[in-house]
Structures are given as structure tokens and as C-alpha cells.
Structure 1
Amino acid sequence: MARGAEPGKPSGAVKDAGGKPNSGELEQRLSRLEVELTRKGALRQPVPEGERSERSGSVAQAMKLSSEFIAGVVVGGVIGWSLDRFAGTSPWGMIVFLLLGFAAGTLNVLRAAGYVAESGNIKSATKEDEKN
């Protein structure tokens, strides 16, 4: 390394009148940096717009399903706790209503995900098979 050169900088760097590296050298350094970061996996590739909206839709669906489930369990727990508090049936009200809240939350998640038909829209698979 040349005397007086800064560590990490090439000694024969072309500099402009202000003592700064010229734009050609900066472009080379930037491209080398991007190649190294990509090679090491530190540079993230931009996510395409269609994939981004698909991901955000999936996150929204997951948040909806988890809140449906948690709401069922919490409401069941509050009802059970209230019943135990005012009727003096501790701990049976809490146990029964937590289980009912769990079942209601699970049913709500299955309905929201489309695995179970809503009440009133029940169609049995055997009737549809008979038509075909």
C-alpha cells in the first residue's frame, strides 16, 4: 500500500479536483458491493407487486382467522367467569364455557375458511351426488 493512502481504498484511485473519487470509480465500487451482498444473501431482491398483494391478503386472512378463534375463547371465558362469580358455581362455569368458547371459536374459523357451510346454507353431499 502506498504511503498516506487510506486503508481499504485503492492507492491509484482517480480523483477529481475536490479530492473525491470520480463517478466511474463510484459506479464500479457500487456494482462490486451489490454483487458481494447478493452473493452473501444480505441484499434482498425486490418482491413483485402481484406477490406482495398476495402475501398481504394471506396475512389479513390469518389475522382474521386467529381473531375469530381468540374471540370465541375469550367470550366463553368471560361468560363462565361471570356465571361462577354470581352463581357461586366455581370452577364449573368457567370450565364448561371455556370449552364452549373453544368449540365456537373453532367453528367460526372453519366457517370463515370455507370448510363448513353457514347455517341455512347446508347442502349435503349425497343430494348433490344424486343429481349428477
Structure 2
Amino acid sequence: MTDMRGSGGNGEEERVREQSQRLKEKIERARGQFAAETAGPQRIGGEMTGMGRAMRLGTEFIAAILVGAGAGYLLDRWLNTAPWLMLVMLLIGFAAGVLNVVRAAESMNRAAPPPPGSDLGPGSDDED
């Protein structure tokens, strides 16, 4: 076995240190490039894609209708009033679904930043 502490070992140790330092620098550059590439598509502050918004709104609307219809069906079975309570609760579920969609869309629009270059109307510093 070769002893690295000998006269020839010093040059070898230095060469290994230089290689490891270059490798470390390459790794850091690669990490920086990876972080820069992945930073773009991240969502900030709950911003959603268009498909995500549509899925949320559609799910909330359908869920409210199904809950209303299901509650009406169960009440009809319990009170023997078929189909009247189911129809009434179906309409109430529809109204609740519309209200949920309006509220959710309003909160999503409030959270999303305006698109670049959009004119939001006159500002407070504009003249009348």
C-alpha cells in the first residue's frame, strides 16, 4: 500500500482536493440552474390553473345539488311525501350550488393577480 504522507502523496492529495473542489462547484451550479428552472411554474398565494379552477367550481356545484337531492329523497322516504320534498330540496341544492360557485369564484379572482398589461380602469390618481 502506498502511504499518502510520503513525498509523492502530497501532489496526489492536492490533485484530489482540486478535483473535489471543481466537482463541488459544478454541483452548486447545477443546483442553482435547477432551482431557477423549477421556480417559474410554482404557484404563489393559492393561485390555481384554469383546469383547477374549473374542477373546483364544478365539483362544488354538483356536490350541492347532490346533497340537496339526497336530503330530499331521505325526507320523502321518512315522511312518505314522494316526490315533493326531493324536488324542493333539489331546487334548494341548486340555489346553494350557485351561491357556492359565486363565492368561490370571487375569492379566486381576489387572490389571483391581474394579468400583465391589463387595464383595470381608471385609478385613484387619474383625472375625471
| Higher RCO structure, 1 or 2 (CA under 8 Å, sep 6+) | 2
Q: Shorter-chain TM-score category?
A: 0.3 to 0.5
Taking structure 2 as the reference length, what is the TM-score of the superposition? 0.46
